[in-house]
Amino acid sequence: MTPEQVELSELERDALTEIVNIGVSRAASSLRKMIGDQVLLSVPSIEVVSQSRAARLISEREVVDLVAVRQDFSGPFSGRALLIFPETNSLELVRAVTGGELSAEEVLEMEHEALAETGNVILNSCLATMANMLRRSLTMTIPEVLRGNGAMLFEVDERGGNGGLVLFLYIDFAVRMRDIRGYIAMLMDIPSLATLKELLDEFIAGVVGDDA
């Protein structure tokens, strides 16, 4: 499914996971400031899959509808970043970030805005960290909130998709004793992924040196 030139090696995957971890850690500290409470974010695994596989991966795990925050990015590698939650989890997240003192109606009213803001913090941190660690710069669009199932979010169409690939990251949130799970997905075309892979190799060479 995955073309060879963009197949990530174990080490490249580790490096990318680590970079994203830095990003989500930054996002966690930003959120901590917003919420005034301990927020832990971590990325245990990462995968490169096709769009339809990504859609299936999500729908296999999440039976309910999904909510996603979307941001497009461009630079040496371009694509679209998605922060995805099961719909039921999104309200939990909103309650967490709004301090839990709002009524149910208020939470619903706030949901869209709160989600957009949370998504912005997390995705921005991730992308900015990636750009920073890989010594490149990226520009990002403003966040957008989407709802739907896996196939809709990954724009899988009847003709079998456009052959794009998805960098799929599973993230664990721990916010004030609430278990919230979510996913970060980065849709990129093959040239962009190939560029990312090259940049990762540069980064690894810099960090590991003679041990590699």
Partner 1 sequence: MPELRESLNQDQLRAVLAAAGASGSWDWDIVGERLYVDYRFAELYALPGDDLSAGFETSAFFRAIHPEDRPRIRIAVAGMLAGAALFSKEFRVISPSGAVLWMHGRGQSHLDEDDQPVRFTGLLVDVTERKRTEERLRIAQSAGGVGTFEYSDGFATVSVSSEFCRLLGLHPADRLPVRTINAVLCEGEPLLIPEGSQAAPPDSLGGEFQVCRGEDRERRWIARRGEVLRDADGSGYRLLGVIYDVTYAKLQEAALRDLNDTLEHRVAMEVAERRQAEEALRQAQKMEAVGQLTGGIAHDFNNLLTIIMGSVDMAIRRTESSADPRIRRALDNAMKGAERAAALTHRLLAFSRRQPLDPRAVNVPELLAGMSDLLLRTITEAIAITVDASDEIWTIEADPHQLENALLNLAVNARDAMPEGGALRITARNRSLSDTAAASPTDPGGEIPAGDYVAIDVVDTGTGMDETTLGQVFDPFFTTKEVGKGTGLGLSMVYGFAKQSGGGIQIASRPGAGTCVSLYLPRSIAEAEQSSDQLIASAEMGSPSETILVVEDDDDVRAYTVGALRDLGYGVIEAHDGASALGMLARHEQPIRLLMTDVVMPRMSGSELAFLARERQAGLAVLFTSGYTRDAIMHGGRLDEGVELLPKPFTMKNLASKVRELLDR
Q: Which 3 state secondary structure label does DSSP give 177?
A: coil
Report the amino acid identity of residue 63. V
Please report how close the Cβ of residue 153 comes to partner 1 at its closest, in angstroms: 17
Please report how close the Cβ of residue 96 comes to partner 1 at its closest, in angstroms: 17
CA 22 to each of CA 31, 34, 125, 144, 149: distance values in angstroms, whole numbers, following the listed order: 14, 18, 8, 24, 29
- Is the CB of 94 or the CB of 130 nearer to partner 1? 130
Binding site for partner 1 (CB under 8 A): 10-11, 14-15, 18-19, 21-22, 24-26, 28-29, 40-42, 56-57, 60-63, 129, 133, 170, 204, 207-209, 211-212
- Is the CB of 2 or the CB of 25 nearer to partner 1? 25
Please report how close the Cβ of residue 101 comes to partner 1 at its closest, in angstroms: 26
Please report how close the Cβ of residue 106 comes to partner 1 at its closest, in angstroms: 26
- Is the CB of 7 or the CB of 106 nearer to partner 1? 7
Report the amino acid identity of residue 206. G
Work out the number of other CB atoms within 10 angstroms of the CB of residue 184. Answer: 24
Start-to-end CA span in the chain (Å): 28
- Is the CB of 41 or the CB of 167 nearer to partner 1? 41
Beta carbons within 8 Å of 67's beta carbon, 6+ residues apart: 84, 85, 86, 87, 90, 115, 145, 146, 147
